[in-house]
A and B are shown apart, each in its own frame.
Chain A
Amino acid sequence: MSAATSIPTQVNGTSGVLDQAFEDAGVQAHELAQELTSARGLLRFATAGSVDDGKSTLVGRLLHDSKSVLADTLDAVQRTSDARGSDTIDLSLLVDGLRAEREQGITIDVAYRYFATPARTFILADTPGHVQYTRNTVTGASTADLVVILTDARTGVVDQTRRHAAVAALLGVPHLLLAVNKIDLVNFDQQVFDAIAAEFSAYAKELGIHEVTAIPISALHGDNVVTRSERIDWYTGRSVLEHLENVDLTDDSADGSLRFPVQYVIRPRSDELPDYRGYAGRVAAGTVRPGDEIVALPSGLRSTVTAVDTADGERSSAVAGESVTLLLADDLDLSRGDLISGVVDAPTPVTEFTATVTHLADRPLRAGTRALLRYGSSTTRVVVTSIDHLLEIDSLTFVEAPKALALNDIAQVALRTAEALPVEAYRPGGAVGSLLIIDPADGTTLSAGMVGNRRAALHPETPAPSTTTGTQEESA
């Protein structure tokens, strides 16, 4: 069952009901406080959909039905709904942020939302659906463990659906959830849902996506969003929130060789610690322990880790994602921008490499453009030596490259750097193999890239992904 249902009601009623809330929820709050304090995981996910697929309504519904919306926020939304002459409360108003967007009724930028259930804490990157906002979809999906793609049951899989799936595949997002919305408007017809799920599954297979889940929903009425709908009796799978609470988050980023970009050198130079020299950073991949042999890159000098230090004391190990300070046996004179790597499978520093880039700025990127390259914690000069192919995102095929990349273009480019960098193929999550191309004049981020050829890395020849639709499995 969904643990979210045990959260005390925060939204029924409008104001002046605090005392009642405390009475009703006193004991429950105590228990919930224990649960919300106790160990639970973090799921980062993104939502994507076309303009009228009801994405804002779905997000509003998730926040509302998981009791994450507080009364005064809801009051404001109710007032606005009333002012616009709407009979029912418009939940999409919960998530429209900027005035420019509210006036135009669209979403123009990635917005971040937060909610929690006793099972998990969620960070949601809510990305707009317009064709011209590919850069926002890429941004939102860059750190996502899961992408929710919305489609309208009446129109099914459209170009925009394919585009969002392709972006998720390119970035290596491990889980895809297809929410087939407005299922009430096709009379809860199972055949319509099955056809859409099958078509999407076939496309996902071409993209090399390994896990797709499809769920029939009505965001407007709340069917299968938080609680399972009785009106869709042929569907026995999880609701959207239940799926988000249960999707497998195990990753292998703690396995394999250490990658530790040095962010900052900590040197107290105090009377007590005259010789302390610690390399501060966040483990990008692998695990580090005292006694591990390491190689510093690009210099290639070797040493041994003597301590994994933190403000809470020394640690016996640190894994990917953790911010720590490494002490080494030898004085290697490392500085910001260097990489501390495990000696096995260490990357080789190079000055020429290829990358799959998404262009993010209005000013164009051409062959010959000179810029700054950010990789890990290092910044160096870079020149775009060639633009090799443009990636047609609807079909995920390479086509002839234009003279210059425009905003939202995704392309395969060749780069040459002034200094050798220990680059290596992009890994999902971007802690390894991600880069930025920056305009040196004013610091504008021109493009974001993934080292290597991401299209080729998707392995379209892999076996068909197993699609879970809930109509083929026992109740979860």
Chain B
Amino acid sequence: MTITQNVERNRVASPHLRALESEAIHILREVAGQFDKPVILFSAGKDSVLVLHLALKAFYPAPLPFSLLHVDTGHNFPEVLAYRDRVVAEKGLRLQVASVQDWIDDGRLTERPDGTRNPLQTVPLVDTIADERFDAVIGGARRDEERSRAKERIFSLRDSFGGWDPRRQRPELWGLYNGRHAAGEHVRVFPLSNWTELDVWNYIESEGIDLPEIYYAHEREVFQRQGMWLTPGDWGGPGERERLERRQVRYRTVGDMSCTGAVESDATDVRAVIEEIIVTRITERGATRADDKLGEAAMEDRKREGYF
């Protein structure tokens, strides 16, 4: 990976990446100007790492005016949690962790028969937003990820249950973002709305941004389920008929271990990842997120319930 420390960096990066950076910084500063208690959803996935990077740049040289929230399914990759804690310590950030396990332990949530906890994140997220009175919740979602996301606003209004009603969303014209909301409601903010996966990786390369190592190809024990390579763990794998194999893999997204699959890959650095993305014929979510395969309208339904 190239770590560019050249002060001329901003002049050599692609003009369209500079435009996306300026737009994201503008959005993040609007959040600081319009809301009382914003929070960044930080999973240590590459998109949330990028949001954090842009937020630190937006308020430089002052400290970040936002805290971080991680909804921990309890099935996260240990490498990712270590990365998360390292970043928080190095940058002097405030992190709050909402553990799905706590909600299961006190009966507010029930474990699903299939063991996957990705859909269980919604309740702890909505509860924490209400308890902490967060009024802006910043996430790294992109409109190119999935069809129902293509209509998402940059400032997306949520009701007091965290629900998303497509008909209540406000038209967004010019660069005027309207963050007004009624008491109990909040706004989810997506500064990376206009970025594509390739933009994210090109920017990560040009800024020399450090990511959890599982994004790059490495050898790992995995087993196959529903066409995906999964990592064994306490969450419930492998099953009786599933065979462990050593494979050279990398992850294109990081999430709950039970439903985040690895892809076979030789891409050991960011440049190789970019070249791989260009030839890969499978979209990010389709390749690696089992929960999106539930149905054509799966994401639309989960968003209505308050999922990110």
Chain A residues close to B by CB (< 8 Å): 8, 10-11, 13, 15, 17-18, 21-22, 25-26, 29-30, 32-33, 36-42, 70-73, 76, 80, 95-100, 102, 108-114, 116, 120-121, 123, 135-136, 138-139, 142-143, 263-264, 266-270, 273, 276, 280-282, 309-313, 315, 321-323, 325, 336, 360, 372, 374, 377, 429-431, 434-436, 438, 440-445, 448
B32 touches which of A264, A268, A270 (Cβ 8 Å): A264
A-B pairs with beta carbons under 8 Å apart, 16 shown? A8-B278, A15-B282, A18-B281, A21-B280, A36-B202, A72-B282, A99-B300, A112-B150, A142-B174, A263-B33, A280-B29, A323-B21, A431-B175, A438-B180, A440-B180, A443-B157
Q: A113-B150, A263-B33, A267-B62 are in contact. Are A37 and B281 (CB under 8 A)?
A: no
Which applies to chain B's interface (DSSP): helix, strand, loop or mixed? helix
Q: Is A434 touching B15 in the complex (CB atoms < 8 A)?
A: no
A21: B residues at CB distance < 8 A? 279-281
Contact string against A for B residues 7-31, beta-carbon threshold 8 Å, 1 for contact and 0 otherwise: 1011010111011111101100110
- Taking the complex as formed, is B181 at the interface, i.e. its CB lies under 8 A from any CB of chain A? yes
- A322 and B148 CA atoms in complex are apart in Å by 30
A71 touches which of B150, B180, B205, B281 (Cβ 8 Å): B281
- A374 and B173 CA atoms in complex are apart in Å by 12
Q: Is B29 touching A323 in the complex (CB atoms < 8 A)?
A: yes
A40: B residues at CB distance < 8 A? 14-16
Q: Is A114 touching B281 in the complex (CB atoms < 8 A)?
A: no
B287: A residues at CB distance < 8 A? 72
B282: A residues at CB distance < 8 A? 15, 18, 70-72
- A397 and B14 CA atoms in complex are apart in Å by 43
A440: B residues at CB distance < 8 A? 180
A-B CB pair tally, cutoff 8 Å? 222
The stretch from B53-61, B72-80, B210-218 touching chain A is B53-61
- Taking the complex as formed, is B85 at the interface, i.e. its CB lies under 8 A from any CB of chain A? no
The stretch from B42-50, B105-113, B124-132, B192-200 touching chain A is B192-200
Q: Is A312 touching B9 in the complex (CB atoms < 8 A)?
A: yes
- A270 and B22 CA atoms in complex are apart in Å by 26
A30: B residues at CB distance < 8 A? 275
Q: Is B60 touching A431 in the complex (CB atoms < 8 A)?
A: no
- Taking the complex as formed, is B115 at the interface, i.e. its CB lies under 8 A from any CB of chain A? no
B61: A residues at CB distance < 8 A? 266, 268, 270, 273, 276, 311
- A408 and B307 CA atoms in complex are apart in Å by 31
A96: B residues at CB distance < 8 A? 147
Q: A33-B271, A113-B150, A139-B172 are in contact. Are A323 and B281 (CB under 8 A)?
A: no
- Taking the complex as formed, is B248 at the interface, i.e. its CB lies under 8 A from any CB of chain A? no
- A13 and B202 CA atoms in complex are apart in Å by 27
Q: Is B193 touching A112 in the complex (CB atoms < 8 A)?
A: yes
Contact string against A for B residues 130-173, beta-carbon threshold 8 Å, 1 for contact and 0 otherwise: 00000000000001100110110000010000000010011111
Q: Is B10 touching A429 in the complex (CB atoms < 8 A)?
A: no
- A254 and B175 CA atoms in complex are apart in Å by 17
- A263 and B166 CA atoms in complex are apart in Å by 28
- A190 and B271 CA atoms in complex are apart in Å by 49
Q: Is A139 touching B171 in the complex (CB atoms < 8 A)?
A: yes
